[in-house]
Amino acid sequence: MSVDKLQQAVALIKSGDKKGGQNLLIDVVNSDPKNETAWLWLASVVSQDKRVFCLEKVLSINPNNLQAKQYLEKLKASEQPQTKPNPIPQTNIANKESIPSVTEQPISNSPQYWTVSFGNKLVSFIILDTTKLITFDVAPMKVPAILEQINRGSFTKEWHDQNIISGANYKSINLNQIARVRLLLNDITIDYRDNTMKDLSAKITCREDKVSDAVLESLHRRLGNQFARSSKQNSRLEVAGRSLVLLVIGLGGTGFCYWATLDLVGRDLHGRYSGIASIFQLIGPNGILCIGGGLILLLLISIISQFIKPPMETLLVRKGSSKS
C-alpha cells in the first residue's frame, strides 16, 4: 500500500497539487518511517523550516544519498544564524503539516483516510471524519479523483454517486450510533444501530496490522472516553466455529474438483471452457487429491496453532452498552 500511495503522491506533486501530495507522503512515512524516497519527496513540498529535518531523515536511512547531501548543504549554507530553525522532534508534533506519527496525531476537523489495495481490480477506502465512518470499494483508476476530493474537503455521498460508477458497498456509519468496535486478525467489525433503530454490523478488511491499528486508534480518539478499550484472547469456541466452516469449504471444494476431473477423463474437450477443463484433465484426479490434501493439511496446521494460542482481539465498547 505504501508503494501505491508514494506513486499517487508523486503524480499529484507533478500535476501541481503539492498539498495533496504532501498529505499522502506524510501517510507513507508514518507507516514506513524508513522510506528514503518518500522523505526525499517530502523535503521538496514541506515548508522551509522542515526541509532540514526531512533531509536528515533521508541521510539517516542512506548516508550515501548524494542528492540529499547536496540539498542539505545548500540549505544550511543559506541559513542565517539568528533564523536557524530548531529541529522538529517527532514526539511533539501538532499537526499533519509537521509530519505526525499515527499515534501522536491530534484530533482535527480534517478527515482521515486509508486505502487497502486488493490487487489491480479493487481498492477499499476507509474515511473517518468528525461525525461518521465511510467505507466503499472502487476501481484503482478512480483513486486520484477521490483523493483530490478528500484533500479539498469536498467528498460527499452525492459526489460519490455521481462520479464513482464502479463503486460498490458504500456504507456510512454515524459515530454516535456505534455500540461496539472489534478488531480481530486485521478485520474491524462495527456494531451499530441505524436511524430505524435496527441493529446492524459492518466489517472492514484492513489486511495489514499497521492499517488496522491506525484505524482503530483514530476511531477511538473520535469516539472519545465514552468508549472503553480492552484486549483479550479470542475464544476457542469461536476459533473452532471458523475452522469448521473453512474445513467444510476445503473438503467440499476438493471433492467437487475430484468428481469433475473424473468426469473429464478420456473426453475430447471443446467449447467455451475447454481451456480450464484441459488443465483439470492434465492434473488428473490424483493430482487434485494431492493439491487439495496439501491445502487442507496447511489449514489444519493453522487451525491447531490458533486453537492452542487463540489470536488477540481488541474491543471498543460504549460504556453502559450490553455488548461485550
187 has a pLDDT exceeding 60: yes
Per the rule left: phi > 0, alpha: psi between -120 and 50, beta: everything else, 320 is left
Could you report the per-residue pLDDT of 47-103, keeping only the tens digit for each?
A: 877 888 888 888 888 888 888 888 888 877 775 544 444 443 343 333 444 433 333
The alpha helices in the chain, defined as continuous H runs, are 2-14, 18-31, 36-43, 48-61, 66-78, 143-152, 157-163, 209-223, 236-264, 274-308
Rounded-to-integer distance, Cα 17 and Cα 152, Å = 11
Rounded-to-integer distance, Cα 48 and Cα 16, Å = 18
Give the closest residue to 222 by CA, choosing from 155, 133, 151: 133
Neighbours of 37 (CB within 10 A): 17
Could you report the per-residue pLDDT of 214-254, keeping only the tens digit for each?
A: 888 888 988 888 888 888 777 777 767 777 888 888 888 88
Give the closest residue to 299 by CA, choosing from 307, 146, 14: 307
CA 123 to chain centre: 9
Q: Are 43 and 56 in contact (CB under 8 A)?
A: no
Question: What is the gyration radius of the CA atoms in the chain, in angstroms?
Answer: 25
Residue 72: HSE in the Cβ half-sphere, 13 Å Cα cutoff: 18
In DSSP terms, which residues pair with 125 in a beta bridge? 115, 136
More confident position, 107 or 266: 266
CA 216 to chain centre: 11
* Superfamily of domain covering 2-99: Tetratricopeptide repeat domain (1.25.40.10)
Could you report the per-residue pLDDT of 273-290, keeping only the tens digit for each?
A: 667 777 777 788 888 889
Q: Which three cell numbers stand for residue 124?
A: 477499499
Give the closest residue to 186 by CA, choosing from 3, 314, 35: 314
Residue 312: HSE in the Cβ half-sphere, 13 Å Cα cutoff: 6
Q: What are the residue ranges spanned by the domains of the chain?
A: 2-99, 112-233, 236-308
Please report which confidence band the pLDDT of residue 108 belongs to, taking 50, 70 and 90 as the band edges. Answer: very low
Residue 7 pLDDT: 81
Q: Are 24 and 48 in contact (CB under 8 A)?
A: no
Most confident option among 42-56, 103-117, 170-184: 170-184
Per the rule left: phi > 0, alpha: psi between -120 and 50, beta: everything else, 88 is beta
Rounded-to-integer distance, Cα 88 and Cα 56, Å = 11
Helix axes 2-14, 36-43, angle to 10 degrees: 20
Residue 84 pLDDT: 42
Residue 109 pLDDT: 56
112-233 placed in CATH 2.130.10.10: no
Residue 133 pLDDT: 92
Rounded-to-integer distance, Cα 127 and Cα 190, Å = 14
| N residues, the chain | 324
